[in-house]
Amino acid sequence: MMNTASRMETSAERRWDRRRVVDLVGENGFIVIFIVWCVYLSFATDAFFTSRNIFTVLRQASIVSIVAIGEMLVMLMGAMDISLAAVLGFSGVIVAGLMTQSGVPPLLAGAIGVGIGGLVGLINGFLVTKVKINAVIATLGMMNVLNGIAFIYAQGQTIYGDQMESIAFLARGYILDVIPVPVLLMFAFYAVFYIVLNRTLYGAHLYAMGNNEKASWLAGIRVDRVKILAFALAGLLAGFGGVMQASRQGSATGGMGDEFLFPILTAVILGGISLSGGKGRVQNTLIASIFLVTITNGMVLLGTSIYAQRIVSGAILIVALSLDRLRMRAR
């Protein structure tokens, strides 16, 4: 009797071990691909493995990776926010407009940009929880509204002016002449949200809801509040991303957020956040954001065409999603 029981247990354990391997590969497989890619580039090009290029890559990754944190919060709950790139563009245009055209001091303008992002996030959260619109649909609508307003506000022009230089340090500044400010900001945000997700009550509730929203509700968690806050945080981060992008360009246009739509989602999904929510690590989103930049960076260094770059980044997203499905099927 004892014998059979223990034998059953070991076979069960073996099954869990296999599942653990599948989990590990599914969740971290892209990191292996990333490392292989970096090693290859280090040998194939002279320019890749230089501190200058590495900082360039990190600097380029900074804005996407910061906004991706917000997308990650939303996707951890099993929802999705399509509007974040539009929030970024909207915030960027407003900040640039306020500074160059209305003479608002840079600090206040930046705060308004970030605040508007948060407000949009609040509205998204409200639409999803109270009006009960599907998150993708609600934020898709929001995206179009914001894009429209941004273009009208900018009157279809590029907004620029000397005043923009006062926020240039955000995306173009260096600390001690070596470390780029945006890279520092990126790591700081990730450190904060690492703690939020892994060490705080809020993080625990976010993961809980992504796992089983009904069980969370039955356990007395205020699921609507958790959701609204996630959308609001995503909006705030996207708003900040907009200020950074305005700083980086030294100007703003109505469509300045467009190029971010795809990278934000790709970074989060590639980073292993399950589309059904409840699982994923914030640090993997960071690595995935950097990976995405090295694809472009590496292909430029290798002299490949810009179109081939799109093929590769699209293919990588599909591979990442296949890994996600593989992981689910192993359950």
Partner 1 sequence: MATLLDLHDISRAFPGVQALEDVSLSVAEATVHALVGENGAGKSTLIKVLSGALEPDAGAMTFAGRPYRPRNPRDAIRAGVSTIYQELNLLPLRSVAANITLGKEPSNGGLLDRAAAQTQARGALDLLRAAHIPLDAPVERLKVGEKQIVEIAKALLDQSRLLIMDEPTAALNSAESEALFEIIAALKAKGVTILYVSHRLQEIFRLADAVSVLRDGRHIRTAPIGEVTPDALIADMIGRKLEGVFPPRHSDLGEVVLSVERLASPGAFENVTFELRAGEVLAITGLTGSGRTELGRALFGDGAIESGQVRFFGGTGRIDPARALAAGMGYLPEDRKVEGVLAEVAVRRNLALAILPKLAQRLGVIDRTAERRTAQQQVDALDIKTPSLDQLVRNLSGGNQQKVALGKWLACGARLLILMEPTQGIDVGVKFEIYGLIARLSREGVAILLISSELPEILGLAHRVLVMRAGRVAAELDAERTDSETILRHALGESVKRDT
Q: Which residues bind partner 1 (CB under 8 A)?
A: 16, 199-204, 207-208, 211-212, 214-222, 278-279, 331
**Burial of residue 18 (number of CB atoms within 10 Å: 0-12, 13-18, 19+):** exposed
Closer residue to partner 1 in complex, CB, 180/272: 272
What are the b/e assignments for 164-197, b being 16+ CB within 10 Å?
A: beebeebbbeeeeeeebbbbebbeebbeebbebb
Closer residue to partner 1 in complex, CB, 208/233: 208
Closer residue to partner 1 in complex, CB, 206/243: 206
Q: What is the CB neighbour count within 10 angstroms for residue 21? A: 11
Closer residue to partner 1 in complex, CB, 23/258: 23
- Least distance in Å: CB of 118 to partner 1? 19
**Burial of residue 72 (number of CB atoms within 10 Å: 0-12, 13-18, 19+):** buried
User: Contact, 24 vs 325, CB < 8 A?
Assistant: no
Q: What is the CB neighbour count within 10 angstroms for residue 100? A: 18
d(CA 238, CA 236): 5
- Least distance in Å: CB of 274 to partner 1? 9
Q: Is the dihedral of CA 204, 209, 211, 215 positive or negative?
A: positive
| Length of the chain, in residues | 331
- Least distance in Å: CB of 210 to partner 1? 8
- Least distance in Å: CB of 326 to partner 1? 16
Closer residue to partner 1 in complex, CB, 81/213: 213
Closer residue to partner 1 in complex, CB, 15/310: 15
Instruction: Give the rounded distance of the alpha carbon of 242 from its chain centre.
Output: 13
- Least distance in Å: CB of 278 to partner 1? 5
- Least distance in Å: CB of 215 to partner 1? 3
